[in-house]
Amino acid sequence: MEKAEAEPSASADSARPWQSYTTVYTNAKAGMDGVDKEKVQRTVYEMSKGSKYFENEERKEAFIRQKIDNMRARCAKLSASDISHYQMVADKRILELEATRDLSRIWLHVDMDAFYAAVETLDNPSLRGRPMAVGGMSMISTANYEARKFGVRAAMPGFIARKLCPELIFVPTDFKKYTYYSDLTRKVFQKYDPNFMAASLDEAYLDITEVCNERDLTSGEIAEELRTSVHEVTGLTCSAGVAPNRLLAKVCSDINKPNGQFVLPSNRMAVMTFISSLPIRKIGGIGKVTEHILSGVFGINTCEEMLQKGGFLCALFSRSSADFFLSVGLGLGKTDTPQVRFRKSISNERTFSATDDTALLYQKLAELSEMLSIDMQKEGLSGRTLTLKLKTASFEVRSRAVTMQKYICSREDILNHALKLLNAELPLSLRLIGLRISHFNEDKDGHLSDPTQKTLANFIISGDASGKNVCEHSLLGSDTSDSHFMVDPENDLSIDNHETCHYVSEDLLDSNLLSDLDHCNFNLSNNSGKIDNNNELPLNGSVAKVNAPNVVGCAPKSHQIKVSHLVEADSFSFSEQCESNRPDRARRTNNDLDDGVPSSNQKEQFLWVNDYKCSLCGIELPPNFVEERQEHFDFHLAEKLQKEESDNSRNLMLNQRFSQRDHTASQRRHKRHKSSKKEGSKSSQKESKHLPIDMFFVKSNQNF
C-alpha cells in the first residue's frame, strides 16, 4: 500500500492569511476559470474578518484541522501488518465493486445555465451582458457569467460580491418565476424520460436509454435535441452531460457549461481515463471539507488516487464511506431505473380501429381498468387522480381527469370513475382509450396515507390532541439537530411535488462534521470528547439538522444551508412566533379565522421568514410549495411535541416519585393516604391528556 503522503497539516500562512481554507469561495463553479483566485480570497478575507460568520468559519477550520491531525496520527500508528491487512481489504472491495459495474444505461444530467439570473434576464433584457446577481446584500443565490468573471458566485454575501465587482446589479429573488420556468423545462424532460428525476428546480437526471434505442439516435443527438427544445420552450439555455451513470453524468454536464454538452462513452476504458485525473471536488458529495480531509490526511486530490490510497481509506473510514470513495475511484455511480416510489403515475392505453360503438368502447374501458388495477396491485399502489385519454377518429386527443377523495386501485373503482368520464364525452368515435392513475398514496417510506386524514398540525391546532392551542406549548428545543437522515446526492431526488425533498449537503463529511460542530456551538464542553471518540466519519451523516422524512417537493439549492449558519441564524422562537401571530398582532391573511384562533395555515405561514426560509432550521421552500411547507411545519411540530412528551414523562416520573415520597411522609405523619392518592391520579390523568407523539403515529397508522 502506498504511503499516505499528505500535504502538511494546513495552517494558515501568517503572511497571507486569506489563503486560509475558510475564506475560499471555491472556483468549482462554471465560468470562473480565469478568476484571480488570490485576489478574491483576499477580498473575502478582508471583508469578513472579525464578523461572527468569520469566527464560526475559523472554529470550523480549527476543528477540521484537529480532525486531520488525529487521522494522520492514526495513519502513522498503523503497523506493517495492519497496512497489508487493509490493503487486502481494499483490493477485495475494489474487485467486488468492479463486478457491479453496469454500462447498460445511458444517463443524461441536464442543468440550466445561471438559472435564476437567466430567468431574470429574460424578464428584463436590459440586464443582458451586464454583471448581475440574484439576491441581496446579505446573500446571493447566483450570478450570471459576466459577474462570475469577477469571482462573484452563489452563496456569497452580496456586500462581498459588490466589492469584487462594483458594477454588479442586484435583482431580488422571485421563486414564482423560477418555478414557472422549471415546470416548463420539466415538460420537455418528460418527453425523453417520463420517470425523470428532478434534483432541484434547475436540474434533472434522465435515463435516455429507451429513447436512444427507440429513435435510433445517439445520446449526443438526444442531448442536443433536448437542449434545443428547452431553449425553444423557455428561451433559456441549459447544459447536459451524458454518461453510463448519474454520478458521472452530473460531472459531465458541468464540463461545457454554459450552453454545452459532454458525452462520456459507455465503456470502461473511457470511464477510467475520464476519472483518472478528475479532481475529487468535481464529484457530487465531495465538498470543501471532504476535499480538505482527503487531501490533508492522505494526499488524495484526484479520483484515481482514491484507489491508490484505498488501504488507508479502508483503515480509517467506515465501510460505507470507504466504499463510496473506492466507487468514485472506479467511476461507478447509480444506474438503476427509478424505483416505484419515484413513479408519478401508472398508465395504459389501447389503440383500435375507430369506432363509435358504445358497447365496444365500454368493453375496452373495462379491459383497461382491469389491466391497470392488476399493475397497480402488483406494485402496491393506490391513486387518487384518474385521467382518461381519448383519441378521436379525427386524431384529436382529449384528456379528462378526476381526483377522488379516497385512493383507489380496484378494477371496479377505476372502471366506475372512468365510465363517468367517458360518458360525459359520448357519443364519439374513438381510436384510442388510455387510463392513467396518479397522486399515489405512497410516501418515501412506502407508508400509506389517507387524504381525508387531518395533518398533524390541524390535529394539534384544532385542540384534538391536547386540548391546547399550539401557542401554549413551550419553546421548540433548539436541538432539532438530533434528527439525521441519509444523504445520497444522486438518489434523494424529487420527481415532482410528491417526492422526497433532498436536503443535500454539498459535502458528505462536511455535513457530519458540522453537525458535531454545532453541538460545539451549543455546548463547548462536549466538543472534544465527541470528536476524539469518533474514530471515523460516517459517510451517511446528518444534513442540515433536518430530518424531513416526509418533506416533499423539490426545493431550490439554497436550502443547502449548513447547520452552523442555522445556529447563528436570527431565528426567533416558536412561541414568539405564535405570539406574534395572535390575531391582535398578526398580519391578517385572507384565510384568517373568525374565531380568533390562528389557523394552521397562518401558523405555517409565520414559520417562513421572508416567506421562504424556515426560521427554525433554515430550509428554504418557496411559497408555492404548499404541501411541502405544511409537512415541514408538521415535522417541526412533531419534533416539538415529542420533546415535550419526553419532558412530560420525565416530569411525571419525578412528580410521581415526589408524590410517592410525600405520600409516604404524610402517611407517616398524618395518615392522609387517601387524599394523596387522589391527587396522584389526578396528576397522571392530566399528564395523560398529552398523547405521546409516537402513540399518535401508531393510532394514525391504524386508520390508514
Kindly list the catalytic residues.
203
Q: How far is the CB of 219 from ligand DCP (least distance, A)?
A: 20
Per-residue contact string for residues 154-173; x = within reach of ligand DCP by CB under 6 A: xx------------------
Q: Residue 112 or 223: which CB sits closer to Mg ion?
A: 112
Contacts with Mg ion, residue ranges (CB under 5 A): 111-112, 115, 202
Which one of 17, 258, 299, 680 is in contact with ligand DCP (CB under 6 A)? 258
H or E element: which one contains 345? strand 345-355
What length is written for the chain? 704
Q: Which three cell numbers stand for residue 253?
A: 454536464
CA 516 to chain centre: 20
The rounded distance, in Å, linking the Cα atoms of 76 and 557 is 39
The DSSP bridge partners found for residue 570 are none
Q: Residue 157 or 329: which CB sits closer to ligand DCP?
A: 157
Q: Residue 202 or 516: which CB sits closer to Mg ion?
A: 202
Which one of 4, 114, 222, 456 is in contact with ligand DCP (CB under 6 A)? 114
Q: How far is the CB of 590 from Mg ion (least distance, A)?
A: 35
Q: Residue 115 or 342: which CB sits closer to Mg ion?
A: 115
The answer to whether residues 354 and 431 touch, using CB atoms and an 8 Å cutoff, is yes
In a 13 Å sphere around the CA of 325, the CA atoms on its Cβ side amount to 33
Distances (CA, A) of 50 to 45, 53, 636: 9, 8, 33
Region of 50 please: left (phi>0), alpha (psi -120 to 50) or beta: left
Q: Which residue blocks in 193-287 are alpha helix, DSSP H?
A: 209-215, 219-234, 246-253, 268-276
Q: How far is the CB of 116 from ligand DCP (least distance, A)?
A: 4
The rounded distance, in Å, linking the Cα atoms of 193 and 344 is 12
CB atoms within 10 A of CB 649: 13
Backbone angles phi, psi at 489, to 5 degrees: -60, -25
* Binding at 417: pick from Mg ion, ligand DCP, none (beta carbon under 5-8 Å per type): none
Q: How far is the CB of 157 from Mg ion (least distance, A)?
A: 21
Q: Residue 115 or 145: which CB sits closer to Mg ion?
A: 115
Q: Residue 142 or 605: which CB sits closer to ligand DCP?
A: 142
Interface residues for ligand DCP in 455-494 (CB under 6 A)? none
Q: How far is the CB of 557 from Mg ion (least distance, A)?
A: 8
Binding of ligand DCP at residue 142 (CB under 6 A)? yes
The rounded distance, in Å, linking the Cα atoms of 257 and 265 is 19
Q: How far is the CB of 559 from ligand DCP (least distance, A)?
A: 8
Per-residue contact string for residues 532-561; x = within reach of ligand DCP by CB under 6 A: ------------------------xxx---
* Binding at 297: pick from Mg ion, ligand DCP, none (beta carbon under 5-8 Å per type): none
Binding of ligand DCP at residue 510 (CB under 6 A)? no
CA quadruple 128, 132, 136, 142: dihedral, nearest 10:
100
The rounded distance, in Å, linking the Cα atoms of 235 and 228 is 10
* Binding at 556: pick from Mg ion, ligand DCP, none (beta carbon under 5-8 Å per type): ligand DCP
The rounded distance, in Å, linking the Cα atoms of 571 and 608 is 10
Q: Residue 142 or 494: which CB sits closer to ligand DCP?
A: 142
The answer to whether residues 44 and 35 touch, using CB atoms and an 8 Å cutoff, is no
Binding of ligand DCP at residue 202 (CB under 6 A)? yes
* Binding at 558: pick from ligand DCP, Mg ion, none (beta carbon under 5-8 Å per type): ligand DCP
Q: Residue 112 or 543: which CB sits closer to ligand DCP?
A: 112
Q: Which three cell numbers stand for residue 364?
A: 375496452
Q: Residue 135 or 598: which CB sits closer to ligand DCP?
A: 135
The rounded distance, in Å, linking the Cα atoms of 151 and 173 is 20
Q: Which three cell numbers stand for residue 287?
A: 465538498
Q: How far is the CB of 562 from ligand DCP (least distance, A)?
A: 11
* Binding at 155: pick from Mg ion, ligand DCP, none (beta carbon under 5-8 Å per type): ligand DCP
Segment interacting with ligand DCP (CB under 6 A) among 105-113, 477-485, 571-579, 679-687: 105-113
* Binding at 29: pick from ligand DCP, Mg ion, none (beta carbon under 5-8 Å per type): ligand DCP
Q: Which three cell numbers stand for residue 9?
A: 497539516
Q: Residue 117 or 322: which CB sits closer to ligand DCP?
A: 117
Interface residues for ligand DCP in 29-48 (CB under 6 A)? 29-30
Number of residues that bind ligand DCP (CB under 6 A): 19
Measured from each CB, the residue nearest to Mg ion is: 111
Q: Grid cell 411535488 — which residue?
A: 497
Q: How far is the CB of 371 from ligand DCP (least distance, A)?
A: 41
Q: How far is the CB of 558 from ligand DCP (least distance, A)?
A: 3
Distances (CA, A) of 534 to 66, 508, 519, 529, 610: 12, 16, 14, 8, 39
Which three-class secondary structure state does DSSP give residue 405? strand
Measured from each CB, the residue nearest to ligand DCP is: 558
Which one of 61, 111, 492, 628 is in contact with ligand DCP (CB under 6 A)? 111
Which one of 72, 257, 640, 663 is in contact with ligand DCP (CB under 6 A)? 257
Binding of ligand DCP at residue 141 (CB under 6 A)? yes
Sheet holding 140-143, edge to edge: 140-143, 132-135, 169-171
H or E element: which one contains 238? strand 238-243
Binding of ligand DCP at residue 348 (CB under 6 A)? no
The answer to whether residues 608 and 623 touch, using CB atoms and an 8 Å cutoff, is yes
Which one of 112, 222, 230, 495 is in contact with ligand DCP (CB under 6 A)? 112
Q: How far is the CB of 109 from Mg ion (least distance, A)?
A: 11
The answer to whether residues 135 and 141 touch, using CB atoms and an 8 Å cutoff, is yes
| CA angle (321 as vertex; 317, 323 as ends), nearest 5 | 110
DSSP state of 636: H
Binding of ligand DCP at residue 436 (CB under 6 A)? no
DSSP secondary structure string for all residues of 493-520: -BSSTTSB-----SBHHHHHHHHHHHHH
CA 547 to chain centre: 10
Q: Which residues bind ligand DCP (CB under 6 A)?
A: 29-30, 111-116, 141-142, 154-155, 202-203, 257-258, 556-558
